[in-house]
Chains A and B, each alone.
With several copies, the nearest count.
Chain A
Amino acid sequence: MARSIVSEIKRDHIHKLIADGKRVDGRAWDQVREISVQTNVVETAEGSSRVKIGNTEVIVGVKMTVGEPFADTPNKGVLSTNAELIPMASPSFESGPPDENSIELARVVDRGIRESQMIDLEKLCIEPGKKVWINFVDIYVLDFDGNLFDACNLGAVTAIKSAIVPAKANGLGEDYPMPITCTPISVTSVQIENSILVDPTLDEEKVAAARLTVTTDDNGDLRAMQKGLSGALTLEQVKTAIETSRRLGIEIRKLIG
């Protein structure tokens, strides 16, 4: 179905535009769609955020409970990231347990947060080896128009930043803000006809050969990367995508404050 006649025409159209250095929606190759972020949208969560990048929309909630640490990190809180591609968001999403797409998505978002040490997990230790804060970061995609990696990263990061540790309700003193050390931002590029385009729409993703998601920290250092799709990238394209991510990361960090 994805390869119907209509989509072939669309594919040709996108290819032709790109050959002329243009995109369907008129953006520059390194221009991100309009971003909107709304935090604290769900009061049953410790932190939450609703993010739109163009027509792609996600809602993210952070729930915190007291639990046991992992045996190999007895003095650290626990982070668990989950993504749900619910059928509400797209005719191509189906009900059921996470498939390979939502698993990859959640794991890439998780790595950006985890490897940048965004959350100071040691500050979320209550009693070493016994009690720590468990953070469930649950991502629901509500409307799908491409580039879920960046929308979900941004949703997760802003939801985490908005979270308040529910110490009081757990008999552990006063509530306090989530301990944050930095703001990891991912920027995803795709390769189409040997051009690199950031923040692809769904139509662009459908014709893309390869994808590269690059997550940088406040210093512009690399914290996570993920190449996807069954095409190849040249080393030059990889470096372009990294450079672009670093540059746009600074802008997006400013935007979300």
Chain B
Amino acid sequence: MGGNSDMKLIDENGIRIDGRKVDELRPIKIEAGVLKSADGSAYVEIGKNKVLAAVYGPRECHPRHMQNPAKAIVQCKYNMISFSVSDRKRPGPDRRSVEISKLISEAMEYVVFTENYPRTSIDVYIEVLQANAGTRCAGLTAAAVALADAGIPMKDIVPAVAVGKVNDQVVLDLNKEEDNYGQADLPIAMIPRTGEVLLMQMDGHLTQAEFDKALEMGVKACHEIYELQKDALRRRYAIVNGETEEEPKEPAEDVNEEA
């Protein structure tokens, strides 16, 4: 967090530099089943973030010593492609992406019925194609849809969003400028139905009152994203058109177009 910057990011009418209100999400687009080789996949745009997720598995777990005889392990790998950020990022994992991968893996492990697939691995690959703050939340949101697209039994779909603090105000879903010059960042992933928190990080400066407000805003936004995730899956299986028989692993004819 850049700390208390003088940069004015919210105007006197409470409108942010990209025209949003403080509790407003960026435009979101979610699409399921966008890749052919993967067992499940999803594409997510949140504002200027563009993220792909692919799922392989349950499949044999390598290396073997990582196998769990009682359940599947869920291994998520979050990665930013080299040209997804202003300064070229060298390919390969850095410390930040290792940490994020770990946290997303832990969150996803909670919702997958891992006991159904002992000794296997469920591998989720998240590639950030274009980054604009909030990529870990966008990635987790995509991963959850991709897991469902792969037909893997889950307790529920998981949405994620970051709440932050900018110009001493609590605001939802920071964009890049707000993230660079903001005062706090609080990414959250949860099961909206039960209120269970699966991912939570925070850095910056929040009083207890600010934290409470941020949490409330985040919970509300997670509900919104959750509905968009379900919409994407419904479109994928054409439930809206009554074509409920369609076999999940056969993508609709035109699904690949937009991605």
Contacts and interface: CB of A to CB of B under 8 A. Distances in A.
Whether the complex brings A and B within 8 Å at their CB atoms is answered yes
Interface of A: 3, 41-45, 48, 52, 55, 57, 59, 61-63, 65, 82, 84, 86-91, 95, 97-98, 100, 103-104, 106-107, 111, 114-117, 136, 138, 140, 142-145, 212, 217, 220-235, 238, 242, 246
Contacts of A97: 92
Interface string B142-169: 0000000000000000000000000000
Nearest to A231: B110
Given A87-B77, A107-B96, 14 more contacts: A52-B256, A57-B35, A61-B82, A86-B79, A88-B35, A88-B127, A100-B99, A115-B204, A116-B205, A136-B88, A144-B37, A221-B207, A222-B207, A235-B219
B3 interface: yes
B101 A100 contact: yes
A228 B59 contact: no
A42 B130 contact: yes
Contact of B48 (A43, A87, A100, A233): A43
Contacts of A212: 200
Contact of B107 (A220, A225, A230): A230
The A interface, classified by DSSP as helix, strand, loop or mixed, is mixed
B102 A100 contact: yes
Contact of B203 (A106, A115, A231): A115
Q: Which 3 A-B pairs have the closest CB atoms?
A: A61-B83, A232-B196, A225-B202
A145 B88 CA distance: 28
A61 B81 contact: yes
B7 interface: no
Contact of B37 (A143, A226, A231): A143
A164 B84 CA distance: 16
Contacts of A95: 77
Contacts of A91: 37, 56, 59
Nearest to A2: B68
Contacts of B52: 88, 142
Nearest to B96: A107
Given A86-B79, A115-B203, A3 B70 contact: yes
A234 B199 CA distance: 11
Nearest to B212: A239
Interface of B: 1, 3, 35-38, 48, 50, 52, 54, 56, 59, 70, 74, 77, 79, 81-88, 91-92, 95-96, 98-99, 101-103, 105-107, 109-110, 123, 125, 127, 129-131, 186, 191, 194-208, 211, 215, 219, 256
A242 B208 contact: yes
A230 B106 contact: yes
Given A87-B123, A225-B201, A82 B91 contact: yes
A222 B85 contact: no
A138 B82 contact: yes
A221 B99 contact: no
B129 A42 contact: yes
A242 B211 contact: yes
A88 B83 contact: no
A140 B127 contact: yes
A86 B92 CA distance: 10
A51 to B, nearest CB: 13
| Of A63, A227, A228, A238, most B-chain CB atoms within 10 Å | A227
22 contacts: A3-B70, A42-B129, A43-B48, A48-B83, A52-B256, A61-B84, A86-B127, A87-B125, A88-B125, A88-B127, A90-B37, A100-B98, A106-B95, A107-B96, A116-B205, A136-B88, A142-B127, A221-B207, A223-B204, A223-B205, A227-B200, A233-B197
